[in-house]
Structure 1
Amino acid sequence: MRQWARVFLIGFTLWLATVIVTGLTGNSNLVPTVVLLGSFLVPVTFVVWAYGRGRSARVTVELLFMAFVVGGVLGVLGASLLESWLIRPSIVMYVLVGLIEEGVKLAALMFVTRRMTLRTARDGVVLGGTVGFGFSSFESAGYAFNSLFTTEGLSLPELVETEVLRGVLAPVGHGLWTAILGGVLFAAGGRITFPVVLSFLGVSLLHALWDSMTAIAIAVTLVLFGQRWQFQLLRIGRVPNVTDWQVHVYTLLHWAGLIVISLVGVLWLTTVLGRGRRDREIRHQ
């Protein structure tokens, strides 16, 4: 069995066992273990998988650890500070969030890899993805912790549901976007060039679309299938009820949007890796 599969199976078994024991005993001391195992399981698995596929003498385990922990923590701290200072509810809120979070992850990647002298696009993809997955892990731990608290008290099912959903989506979120940016950055020798800036803006746009997909799906559903009485309620500032048909349309549009964004990101990453491979072959000729 491959190493990444062993990591996932062992981690999943431990997480599942902790969830079951927590549910049976009601022991709140186990909740941090559920939060941490569930939040870190998928990101760590993908880092191990990426390291195995792109193994390089330049990308050491120590550097991976630094990228995951130091890069991830610096990213969430920087994003938290900047978003608290700059973000206000507005039509461009999601765009600003995308720019801030991708910007702090890029800065964190540059910081932890500042001593590297030799760089390849594949190294950048692995290390960029590691920073992104570190960011995702610490962010998911926060979301999981907040989901625990409900009006009816502590809710283990809400915690588990949040961790499962974020775990399923983790591979095509922060890790993917920063992997793309890391590959382009390292292909440029670690310098901020025009292609790096364009890539930064592109992944920030994907990030913004991902975060705003709920609002986009609601708006498109109402435009296509909204009823007159719903618009009348909206005009006077009241939130209308939705029909069963509208719920189905919204769900379809929401997931379709996430899938399209994910496919764009995966294809983009494939292009970055392919271009990096061609550039390396040309240099060796």
Structure 2
Amino acid sequence: MHLATPAENSAVGTRRWPRTFLGGLALWVATVVVVLLTGSLALVPTLILLGSFLVPVTFVAWAFERRDSGELTATLVFSTFVAGGVLGVLGASVLERYLLHPSAWLFFGVGLIEEAAKLGALMLLTRRLRTRSVHDGIILGAAVGFGFAAFESAGYSLAAMFTVDGLSVSQIVQTEVLRGLLAPFGHGLWTGILGGVLFAGWRRGSWLTPRLVLAYLGVSILHGLWDSMDGIALFLTLILTETPAFRSTPNGWLVAPTPEQIDLFSVLQWAGLAIIAVIGLAWLVTLWRRASRRAALAGR
């Protein structure tokens, strides 16, 4: 039996993952068109699942082709994606329900809980692996993170369907497009980093290392900042414009931003998300390249 090398896997991946994405995208677009034409609610679950899983599955397929060991099988990656995603969502939901309360630090608590839930799921599902490389840890961590993102997006898409004007397919589509565009820079990225650091420690004989703790805190902070960006952008907008965005009414406070405030808020929000994404990507790329250099030196 021929075991494909990472280079061969990469070459195969360049042929397969675009077909995965384009085929899934075509099915999603077709589903959107048919739902809009027929108004069939029976197709809404198909629309939600295709839109929520398209980008996460594509990135996992792309990453899988860059694995180091034959022990990292398609079955393992798929089970990690599904089971890890479900376990992460369930664990995070329970912990957030009982541990979090409204405060200025709410989203950082969400980051700590969700990253811990995904890390725990990753550790549980990969505990029997005999060969652990940093690259494989990144891939399996990303699989858990993208699984979490897919199931979470499905929930958000379903919730977006219900509006004050009734059921809205357009809200589902908008939610899925936005979350699909942002998916590569969120859960999959953060848990990929944790997976690489976890497997690096496991290879040295200990999974609970100071480096893993620091990585966990680091990705949790990135997670918290990502989720808090609306509030941060609003605060900075009010500070920079020095004009109120709220006006008093008999029934309370009404949001009434100026056009300039709206534009500045959008710029600050997207700029903040971009900065967080760049930090996360740079961290992951550095982790991957250091592991590649070490593997090359060890092979000499």
- Which residue does 1:206 correspond to in 2? 222
- The answer as to 2:236 corresponding to 1:223 is no
Letter of the 1:173 partner, please give it. Answer: G
Give the aligned partner of residue 120 of structure 1: 133
Q: 1:13 to 1:238 in 2, by over 3 A?
A: same
| Equivalent-residue separation in structure 1 for 2:69 and 2:23 (angstroms) | 26
SS at match of 2:253: coil
SS in 2 for 1:111: helix
Q: Which runs of 5+ in 1 are unaligned?
A: none
Distance 1:231 1:32, change over 3 A: closer
Equivalent position of 1:146 in the other structure? 159
Shift of residue 181, structure 1, vs aligned partner? 0.6
Distance 1:201 1:277 in 2: 25
Q: TM-score, normalised by structure 1?
A: 0.96
- Output the amino acid matched with 1:276: A
Matches within 5 A, 1:37-56: 37-54=50-67, 56=69
Q: Report the AA paired with residue 33 of structure 2.
A: I
Which residue in the other structure is 1:101 paired with?
114
Match of 2:270 in 1: 255
Hey, what's the Cα distance between the residues in 2 that align with 1:160 and 1:90? 31
TM-score by length of 2: 0.91
Determine whether 1:276 maps to 2:291: yes
Aligned to 2:75: 62
Confirm or deny: 8 A CA contact 1:121 1:273 kept in the other structure. Answer: yes
- What fraction of aligned residue pairs are identical, expressed as a percent? 53
Which residue is 2:257 aligned to? 242
Relative distance call for 1:6 and 1:230 in structure 2 (3 A) is: closer
- Correspondent of 1:197 among 210, 213, 220: 213
> Structure 2 regions of 5+ residues with no counterpart?
1-13
Give the aligned residue type for 2:257.
V
The answer to whether residue 145 in structure 2 is matched with residue 129 in structure 1 is no
1:280 deviation in Å? 2.2
Q: Residue 205 of structure 1: SS of its match in structure 2?
A: helix
- The answer to whether the 8 A contact 1:233-1:240 is kept is no
Distance 1:172 1:139, change over 3 A: same
One-letter code aligned to 1:57: G
Secondary structure of the 1:238 match is strand
**Following the alignment from structure 1 to structure 2, what is the Cα–Cα distance between the partners of residues 192 and 282?**
26
Rounded Cα–Cα distance in structure 2 between residues aligned with 1:277 and 1:233 = 59
Contact 1:125 1:182 in 2 (8 A): yes
In the aligned structure 2, how far is the partner of 1:76 from the partner of 1:174?
11
Q: Distance in 1 between matches of 2:178 and 2:247?
A: 35
What displacement does 1:55 show? 5.0
Tell me by how many angstroms 1:65 deviates: 1.1
**Aligned letter for 1:281?**
A
| 8 Å CA contact retained: 1:73, 1:135 | yes
- The corresponding residue for 1:3 is 16
- Rounded to whole Å, the distance in 1 between the matches of 2:78 and 2:97 is 28
Q: In the superposition, relative to structure 1, how do residues 278 and 69 fare at CA in structure 2: closer, same or farther (>3 Å)?
A: same
Output one character per residue of 1:71-96: Cα deviation in whole Å (capped at 9) or x when no partner: 00000000000000011110111111
Q: Hey, what's the Cα distance between the residues in 2 that align with 1:65 and 1:277?
A: 24
The answer to whether the Cα contact below 8 Å between 2:48 and 2:154 also exists between their aligned partners in 1 is yes
The structural deviation recorded for 1:133 is 0.2
